[in-house]
Amino acid sequence: MSATTHSPEPVTSTSTSRGNAARIGTLMGVASMSTVQLGSALTVPMFARLGVLGTAGLRLAWAGIVLLVLVRPRRRDFAGRDLAACVGLGVVTSGMMIFFALAIARLPLGTASALEFLGPLAVSLFGPGHGRRVWTVAAGVGVVLLTEPWHGGIDALGLLYALAAAGCWAAYILLTQHVGDRVTGMSGLAVSMPVAAVVAMLVAAPTLGAHQPSWGPVLIMLGLAVLSPLVPFALEFLALRRLTASSFGTLMSLEPAIALLIGAVVLHQIPGAGPALGVALVVTAGVGATRSGARPEPTTEANDVPEPVEATTPEDQLALAGSVRAA
């Protein structure tokens, strides 16, 4: 009786393709965060020409116009309550934009970004589940190191602006989940962004009137609006097709560190040891909270089409938040 030989299992390309997709998704996520923070850094010099509020207002106005033209949402796509949620999301987005612009006018970009990140971090830390106390402590120590109260050197008003932006970002995450669940495609964003633009322009009107901007700065703001939020939103949308919610949320937690790097390179804002360690602790808290609390991802067969990831937990809400946060 001859020995039976077993031919090796056929090697499928599923694992390889998933690995490539993850790498591409990671690169897209990093590119998204980099363009968000680069856009913020390039906005700072415009404050002298347009004012802080005028700069924020024009950037949102251009983003709202472009999205409205590209998506062209229809009234019949929205129920009354869903339309109200889109309007609320627009108001919160405007607040997030304005407060963050006011913050980076007074604080280094890395510090302001880390403080603003406390908003989504709080959504994750105070959600249901256990094992997050250590990350809460890490975030708290990071904030103390960022602000260095023993030196009294941080701008108190800038700190308040950054924390207000953090609160708006937290509300943005919760409203984004509702709008994303109820409104198909990008129609919700195409409504909320113009609302944000109207609110921001109403706030910025007196400032713009005083500065009397020429077409040059106005067109520069169009370019900055494309750089952020439009390009980052597209990159994150594509990245979420390739990464799990937990992986994406962990990746997004690195944004304060990217802001610190871009602030140093573009704005020459070199942090001291304390603030740099504070940013590192906030990033660590974000990574830890996202990884420890996220629900398991569903398993799929090689030929199955994966179901869309729903933001059913605070960690998933943090992971699926769009890039409009730093518009």
Distance CA 283, CA 310 (A): 24
- Phi, psi of 187, deg, nearest 5: -60, -40
Average the pLDDT over each of 106-110, 182-186, 189-193, 212-216 and give the range with the smallest value: 182-186
* CB-CB neighbours of 169 under 10 Å: 28
What tokens does 38 get? Answer: 């680069």
Q: What is the mean pLDDT of the chain?
A: 81
What's the pLDDT tens digit per position in 235-281? 887 887 788 777 787 888 899 999 999 999 999 999 999 999 999 99
Does residue 290 contact residue 318 with C-beta atoms inside 8 Å? yes
Which 3 state secondary structure label does DSSP give 10?
coil
Q: Indicate if the pLDDT at residue 163 is higher than 70.
A: yes
**What's the start-to-end Cα distance of the chain, in Å?**
74
User: Over 60: is that where the pLDDT of 293 sits?
Assistant: no
pLDDT of 294-309, one tens digit each? 444 444 444 433 444 4
CB 24 within 8 A of CB 224: no
Task: Give the angle 272-45-106 at the CA atoms, nearest 5°.
Answer: 45
Q: At 17, is the secondary structure helix, strand, or coil? A: helix
Q: In whole angstroms, give the CA distance from residue 32 to residue 228.
A: 9
Task: Give the H or E element holding residue 1.
Answer: none
**Residue 235: its pLDDT value, please?**
87
Residues 97 and 220: their CA atoms lie apart, in Å, by 17
> Looking at residue 15, what is its pLDDT?
66
Return the amino acid letter for 81. Answer: R
Residue % of the chain over a pLDDT of 70:
81
